[in-house]
Structure 1
Amino acid sequence: MTVLCCASVSLARVEYIRHSQGYYEAKLTFRVEAPVEQWSSRFQFESSIQNFTVRTPNTQVFNSSNGITYNFGSVGYFPIAAGEWAIEFSVSYEDTGSMPQLQYATFNGKDLDTSYVPPPTTTMRPTKPPPSGGDYHYDEVIAISLEFYEAQRSGKLPSNNRIWWRGDSFLDDGQLNGVDLSGGYTDAADLVKFGFALVSTTTVLNWGLVDFLQGYNSANQTGYAEDAVKWALDFLIKAHPTSHEFYGQVADADIDHAWWGRPEDWDQGLRQSWKITRDKPGSELAAEGAAAFASGYLVFKNRNSSYAQQLLRHAKELYEFADEYRGTYTDAIPAGGFYDSWSGYGDELGWAASWLYRATNESKYLQDVNRHWAEFNLSRRADKFSWDDKKAGLQVLMYKLTKEEKYLTPATQFCDYMKNSQQRTPKGLVFIQEWGSLRHAANIAFICLNLAELGVKSAEYREFAKEQIHYALGDGGRSYVVGYGENPPQRPRHRASSCPHRPSPCNRQNGLYNPGPNYFTLYGALVGGPGLQDDYVDDRDDYVKNEVAIDYNAGFQGALAALQKLKINEQLP
């Protein structure tokens, strides 16, 4: 039998494939420097575990000591060629908040340095060659955008989780308030669940699924897109336990922003949650929640009717709550300074009523739209479409539903102004503001593609929208989508993906301030984007230009689905 010499220590790396409450699967990879025909190994964990299983075939655990040390190896003849090889294993343990990690290992008597952490690599999947005609593979970008949403998931991850470096997190959210608020999406680089951004994101994602379903179908991404919005909606159902209670924030943003690490490793204690009530109302939050539920009803009404009816009930209750008990939500929830409602709550009231009108065709909701239209002067030309300001979306949606000129006029004014008069960067990006510049351009593109779909200046608006999306995909001189195209961002501001492989700890020094690329590629994330002069540096410490956020990808993904629909129907300008 040939064995390895034990005179030196060999570098090894532990990779955690799946991590859930009280259980993880991992593999220890190292280099076998000469062929072997049999092997044995010893693992020592940092604390006692309940069960150890070697997942590598034809192996056996020989003995163990105190649930900490395990001796195991091959059964009979087991040839291994020289080169890199891995032992796959799984561990069950008592979940006390600390995961027992592999502390020491040997292979055929040779020590393996399990503390070794490989340097970050610029992992890039091969992308399809650019098609002729100057367009892009929209289907590919839709697919990885949906992976970004999976990377933002909080709570207990499903068995079909595709983001192997993410695990269960924040299962105890809501415990301090006596409710289950696990699940949902973390907002951006941080780990807070900001309700106003989440409900707005959900509505926009739903809108794209409803009106550009053909684009999702042709990209073979409809199932993943439905999973993405259902992940949000399931959380929002839990956040609305009674008709006049709606939780709109989980985690103190100041505490969260002072900490850098993996969501799975949070060690700052139970997280506080805040809600709106009759006594402390929040019309923006409740109304946008109603819009998210009503648009979600439209996504699922022909796929899961009982679930859709549940969503519609929540939509109606939240809308009545928002309209009857009026107030600014940041008076009840400490989101001020992060997601202030600069536009007020009138646009959300009209927006919610419009989605309920579309969902139910009940005249009372049309009457409410008109009431809010007059009360809050919603006929004004909007200067953006965002998580805060819904006027442009309301105008387009109501023109779709009624074909009335009063809705068409401001909607057309919006797209005309953005196309012809709004300031641009030298390379053509419509520029609203420096913080999240690409998010704003993508949202504008999404609105104008919706209006073009209704036969309004179709060729003109589609060409304009395509220019804006193409800027983000590469026409601006580089890709601004992580993991896609030419010279994409490698250092997006994002906690989980910046952290090195376990068991290495993660902190500001080796995560946030690591000068190299993120350890894991956050596929599909749209970064904030360039400044007014097309200036951009791939710097993780730049939260204005290089952070990612769930609302950044929402309109962007919807616009991609619209362009994909045009492409397969040979209508792409």
Structure 2
Amino acid sequence: MHIAVTLLSYSLLLPLAAGVSTTITNSWDGGFEAEACVPVTQELNGWTLSLTFDEDVWWVEVWIGDATKISNREYTITSDMHQSPGDQICFDIVGQGDGDIRPTGTVTIVGGPSKAGSGSQKNYADALAKSILFYDTQRSGRLPADNPIPWRGDSNVDDCVPGGWHDAGDHVKFGLPLSSAATLLGWSLVQFKDGYEKAGQLDQMYDMIKWIYDYFLRAWNPGKQELCVQVGDGYKDHAYWGRPEDMNMDRPCKFVNETTPGADIVGGTAAALAAGSIGFRAKDSAYADRLLNAAMNLYSFAKGHRGVFSGGAPFYFSSGDADEMCEGAMWLYKATGDQSYLIDAKGFVDLGVAWGLGWDDKKIACQSLLYEATREDQYKQAVEGFFNSWFPGGGITYTPCGLAWRDKWGSNRFAGNSAFMALLAAEMGLQPSTYRKWAVEQINYLLGDNSHDGGCFSYEIGYGSKFPRNPHHRAASCPDRPAPCTDDQLYAWGSSPHVLNGALVGGPDENDKYKDERADYIQNEVAIDYNAGFHGALAGIVHLKAVGKMPVTNNKCPC
């Protein structure tokens, strides 16, 4: 980082708290490395640190903000990041001086308190906790004694493969969105585990995601080389409006095997399980081994039996399998370090600009994983090209209040997924300030920084005081037993009897217009893949707050 020389006197700035000392972590002839963590005692909307040394330091390099040289012993570091009381501003320093230099440094916050940006008003930890509850609500099968959703009970216990998650407001278990959602959720646990810890939700996250991993393990039969990729008939299921607990229709199973291709779903499932093996490694190594072994077997099978699964059409049908194969290879590379997987992924990757991240298209995920592993410029350019296309001026539509609006089907889903990818890219060192600010602003929009219903309207159900009351979700619309639940509930007036906590609805149109109507399965649909990236972004934002890297936001319609 270039150090500007200025005549600014930092002595004109008043310290907000006592200074802390830097700690030398490494030194050599002519240079040193140090670290520091400064506790925050006041709400800060941007800050300035004073960094002083007891001997001459010619220049310093930091990555948390902009460093300005006052003299050989005095520097300031400035940032527009928001901080709350209880946070810490932690950073590394690289400095240069004469000889085997090991200076003692003192860091003091000298930036004054100011009104917090819109991001400071969001309780991201609460939003994350509620998103976990949504996935618990989607559980199929025999529920555990500690089921946190009192209005849900055992359902479809006689499925050929019991367990798993219902797809959306319906009750089919589709392999493409299941594997896609599980991969993103697992990625968030691997990357932002501290976010779950800080939110007090780590145990809940492990419990929630293990439900789908267990289902995948049951769905894969290594002896038969067969994976169950769908349970339920989409047409019959969608014609039924009622509780999953009351279903008595046939629920046929569909399989991928040596005669029925489906490398898209099999490769995606391998990715999910490989990510899960990393996430569970420190918690339960034996379980992590089970996940990894299944992931390797699935990937090997998919590699030898390429092609997409057509049996999920017209509900879910993939446009190709190379992106899922790349994801599977990269997660196995991360889990094992085996170079053969990295070589495979390089063969599968498409370096074109991705349209968006969703259950069908994992292109940007593959590119990001490859950049993280290799730091090669071709992958960096692909990732940055994606965000350039998503940022203002890049061709995507923005609503008046600032939502990056990709499509009427799950507009919130695509924004949440891209926000998650932006936070991951920032962790890899790609334009951290820009990417983090944009990502948090997208999540802020979803949590209330919009104009609907006079503003402060959360598109995540149960968050805040204003949120959707009529999601397109059968179970939530049904009154308590023994009252019947029929098509009448689809069009019933008034709020759903049960609050579908944590569900992210489809979202507004390109003009910020939204109708809270249960029968509107475009704007008011909920789904496991709608929540996945949004969920991961929430964990990422809690992580940013925990490590003192929360950006200042500037939403167009702040709550």
Whichever residue aligns with residue 152 of structure 1, its letter is: Q
Matched residues in 1 for 2:202 and 2:465: separation?
27
Give the equivalent residue in structure 1 for 2:90: none
Give the equivalent residue in structure 2 for 1:463: 437
Give 4+ residue runs of structure 1 displaced > 4 Å after superposition. none
Give the equivalent residue in structure 2 for 1:392: 364
Deviation of residue 475 (structure 1)? 0.4
Q: Contact 1:474–1:486 at 8 Å: present in 2 too? A: no
Pair 1:500-2:479 in alignment: yes
TM-score (norm 1): 0.73
Unaligned regions of 5+ residues in structure 1, if any?
A: 1-130, 175-180
Give the equivalent residue in structure 1 for 2:283: 303
Whichever residue aligns with residue 346 of structure 1, its letter is: A
Residues 120-177 of structure 1, C-alpha deviation per residue, up to 9 Å, x if partnerless?
A: xxxxxxxxxxx94322110000001101111100001011111001100101001xxx
Q: How does 1:364-375 map to 2 (within 5 A)?
A: 364-373=340-349
Give the equivalent residue in structure 2 for 1:277: 257
Residues 185-217 of structure 1, C-alpha deviation per residue, up to 9 Å, x if partnerless?
A: 000000000111101110000000000111110
Give the equivalent residue in structure 2 for 1:566: 544
Q: How does 1:283-298 map to 2 (within 5 A)?
A: 283-298=263-278
Q: How does 1:385-534 map to 2 (within 5 A)?
A: 385-420=357-392, 421=394, 422-477=396-451, 478-509=457-488, 511-534=489-512
Give the equivalent residue in structure 1 for 2:215: 235
Matched residues in 2 for 1:276 and 1:393: separation?
24
Give the equivalent residue in structure 1 for 2:243: 262
Matched residues in 2 for 1:137 and 1:282: separation?
41
Deviation of residue 291 (structure 1)? 0.2
Matched residues in 1 for 2:466 and 2:491: separation?
21
Matched residues in 2 for 1:379 and 1:132: separation?
40
Matched residues in 2 for 1:133 and 1:326: separation?
50
Pair 1:315-2:301 in alignment: no
Give the equivalent residue in structure 1 for 2:117: 133
Give the equivalent residue in structure 1 for 2:73: none
Whichever residue aligns with residue 408 of structure 1, its letter is: K
Matched residues in 2 for 1:196 and 1:133: separation?
38
Deviation of residue 271 (structure 1)? 1.2
Residues 282-321 of structure 1, C-alpha deviation per residue, up to 9 Å, x if partnerless?
A: 1101100110110010011111111111111111111111
Give the equivalent residue in structure 2 for 1:357: 333
Equivalent of 1:338 in 292, 306, 315: 315
Task: Give the SS at the match of 1:329.
Answer: coil
Unaligned regions of 5+ residues in structure 2, if any?
A: 1-114, 452-456, 552-559
Give the equivalent residue in structure 1 for 2:8: none
Pair 1:172-2:158 in alignment: yes
Matched residues in 2 for 1:361 and 1:518: separation?
49
Matched residues in 1 for 2:354 and 2:134: separation?
29
Give the equivalent residue in structure 2 for 1:85: none
Matched residues in 2 for 1:250 and 1:242: separation?
19
What is the number of residues matched between the two proteins? 427
Whichever residue aligns with residue 141 of structure 2, its letter is: G
Whichever residue aligns with residue 233 of structure 2, its letter is: D
Deviation of residue 530 (structure 1)? 0.5
Whichever residue aligns with residue 174 of structure 2, its letter is: F
Q: Contact 1:206–1:229 at 8 Å: present in 2 too? A: yes
Task: Give the SS at the match of 2:485.
Answer: coil
Task: Give the SS at the match of 1:229.
Answer: helix
Matched residues in 2 for 1:338 and 1:215: separation?
34
Matched residues in 2 for 1:312 and 1:149: separation?
23
Pair 1:150-2:136 in alignment: yes
Whichever residue aligns with residue 252 of structure 1, its letter is: D
Give the equivalent residue in structure 2 for 1:212: 192
Whichever residue aligns with residue 337 of structure 1, its letter is: P
Matched residues in 2 for 1:475 and 1:521: separation?
22
Matched residues in 2 for 1:513 and 1:253: separation?
21
Task: Give the SS at the match of 1:474.
Answer: coil
Matched residues in 1 for 2:402 and 2:292: separation?
41
Q: Contact 1:492–1:527 at 8 Å: present in 2 too? A: yes
Task: Give the SS at the match of 2:315.
Answer: coil
Matched residues in 2 for 1:338 and 1:382: separation?
22
Matched residues in 2 for 1:215 and 1:547: separation?
28
Matched residues in 1 for 2:219 and 2:314: separation?
22
